[in-house]
Structure 1
């Protein structure tokens, strides 16, 4: 009996040792697993830290006034930026038709430290170009970029400025020819802001073409949109037709010109399609949305790819065509002929 008890004690002691060993091995395995998991977690954290966050850009916008064409150009610009997937913070400022506000806006955008400035109109672009030679500037809705001293040439802009112009070389000559050859115009009235360099350039082109065709341009100058109706009325009795170019001051008050033209049965040719949609008779033109989009593509090259504005040629509009307002034609008693190949609004 004593021998049996000793054997039993030895057996129990062996079982205890085995259980202790199993517990130790389990604890070691658990610790190793925990250590392994910790290493994996640290590895994942390191990978996340190595991933570069998407770059965010700040784009300043300066626009001379609110009207459909300039707004459409800005919409096109924004869409190009969106299509490129850029993360952008916008700083949008509008001069509200007051050129004296442009220098302040330009200084504000430069001081805000924007990465690029989108200038929507000639006076807007001129102000920011004179304020900074370091921040890239992309313009649109500019008629004569070389004459406005924004670029050295269309092919090689130089400096920190490039963009898209709103002056197809055939648009104004085609309009004057249409007035002469299809509408039998002899005296064409043109209301414009002589303080806008882009307007003066267009008037000079119109006068040159009119002189070649043997017709006369009768000018009426304004300084603000409030003067547009009176200036238009001053042309009555002196002209047989009207032509509004892409003058920001006049286009922002186009409804008053349309009223005078329609009331007196005068054909009113305009400089862009939005003015046709707003009551003008017709225009040889293009979509401002498109030139805005093309300007946006330039901005993407600058911001995303690091291309310098000096190395991006300025562009002219594409796809010039004649668009006419059917309702306006009916109002003034004009038949739109098939041979004009006009698209109707």
Structure 2
């Protein structure tokens, strides 16, 4: 009798354990997030705030999410193959890293897996989305585009190197954002009666020759347009410009952090944190087509006074007062 009661109790307990709901984390396998990057070490540099924000939102790497990170290490020709391999692993969502090339590769590889791009200069002009308000299809993300931002950089450079002297521009003609940026720059230069000349570099190996050309042209300063190729080689670019004694203004603050004179652009940390929030919404059921592409709302002006001193530039106190951060 006691034996039958014991067996009945065990059976009842087993049945109840199957009927009771499991904890949320145990009910499903971890979400799989693909992260496709052109830049080397993007996950530990500009992309780090993305992972930090995911953690704040309650995601635990290795437990509730598994990240498949793949980088082309600066070689754009590797992106299509990496994107194809990533799609074959069927992630729940793909993050396409800094710039336009990683998103383009991801979009070419899938029309069904949700894609969130980060820090794209001109997503509509690049053909990534139909419009900012209604991106359409399986793609949305964060834009780094802001009206007249390149013109503002020209004005800031004039404060550091006054006198309407020749300004050089380093641009990658293969980057869609370059067309928009140069259009704004040329318009601003014309309005300010500022002479300007453009030097092109498509790959890292062409950057040194472009900077040498800018130096030989007699340019008194240079604007480095946003580009993942340039950002991946930021330390080398800053060192080349220091050797040429050519004052430069950049977009991402990462340049100023490695010795660049001045940077002004969207807060990349905010952009990547918002990308994590977009991923969170998609994992919870939101459709990418219903998430408008966000434009930057916060901008950073960073000054490196050590670089200014080495170049013999006296930074106006008014400019220092306006800076969000001053690196001594």
- 1:34 lines up with 2:6 in the alignment: yes
Is this contact kept in 2: 1:73–1:290, CA < 8 A?
A: no
Greater shift in the superposed pair: 79-88 or 236-245: 79-88
CA distance in 1, matches of 2:88, 2:11: 47
Q: Which residue of 2 aligns with 1:148?
A: 126
CA distance in 2, matches of 1:74, 1:303: 19
Following superposition of structure 1 onto structure 2, how do residues 26-105 of structure 1 map, counting pairs within 5 Å?
A: 28=1, 30-31=2-3, 34=6, 37-38=9-10, 40-47=12-19, 53-66=27-40, 71-86=44-59, 87-105=64-82
Q: Secondary structure at the match of 2:45?
A: helix
CA distance in 1, matches of 2:260, 2:143: 22
CA distance in 1, matches of 2:22, 2:303: 58
- 1:271 lines up with 2:251 in the alignment: yes
Q: Which residue of 1 aligns with 2:94?
A: 117
Aligned length: 315
Is this contact kept in 1: 2:160–2:315, CA < 8 A?
A: no
CA distance in 1, matches of 2:183, 2:69: 33
Q: Which residue of 2 aligns with 1:236?
A: 215
Aligned match for 1:161, one of 139, 163, 173 = 139
Q: Which residue of 1 aligns with 2:267?
A: 287
Greater shift in the superposed pair: 35-44 or 277-286: 35-44
- 1:313 lines up with 2:286 in the alignment: no
Judging changes above 3 Å, is the alpha-carbon distance between structure 1 residues 191 and 67 closer, same or farther for their aligned structure 2 residues?
A: farther
CA distance in 2, matches of 1:77, 1:65: 15
CA distance in 2, matches of 1:189, 1:250: 15
Aligned match for 2:168, one of 185, 189, 202 = 189
Greater shift in the superposed pair: 237-246 or 267-276: 237-246
TM-score, structure 1 length as denominator?
A: 0.84
Deviation at 1:143, TM superposition (A): 0.7
Q: Secondary structure at the match of 1:318?
A: coil
Deviation at 1:72, TM superposition (A): 3.4
Is this contact kept in 1: 2:118–2:142, CA < 8 A?
A: yes
CA RMSD after TM alignment: 2.2
Deviation at 1:254, TM superposition (A): 2.9
CA distance in 1, matches of 2:141, 2:147: 16
Greater shift in the superposed pair: 252-261 or 319-328: 252-261
Q: Secondary structure at the match of 1:275?
A: helix
TM-score, structure 2 length as denominator?
A: 0.88
Is this contact kept in 2: 1:162–1:309, CA < 8 A?
A: yes
Q: Which residue of 2 aligns with 1:22?
A: none
Q: What do the CA deviations read for 1:198-238 (whole angstroms, capped 9, x no partner)?
A: 23332332222222211132111112102211210111142
- Mark the runs of 5 or more structure 1 residues left unpaired by the alignment: 1-27
Deviation at 1:88, TM superposition (A): 1.4
Greater shift in the superposed pair: 295-304 or 189-198: 189-198
- 1:246 lines up with 2:226 in the alignment: yes
Aligned match for 1:135, one of 109, 113, 116 = 113
CA distance in 1, matches of 2:271, 2:307: 27
Is this contact kept in 1: 2:215–2:246, CA < 8 A?
A: no
Q: Secondary structure at the match of 1:62?
A: strand
CA distance in 2, matches of 1:116, 1:215: 46
Q: What do the CA deviations read for 1:294-315 (whole angstroms, capped 9, x no partner)?
A: 01110110012x1101111111
Deviation at 1:80, TM superposition (A): 2.6
Superposed structure 1 runs of 4+ greater than 6 Å apart: none
Deviation at 1:293, TM superposition (A): 1.1
CA distance in 2, matches of 1:261, 1:203: 21
Q: Secondary structure at the match of 2:47?
A: helix
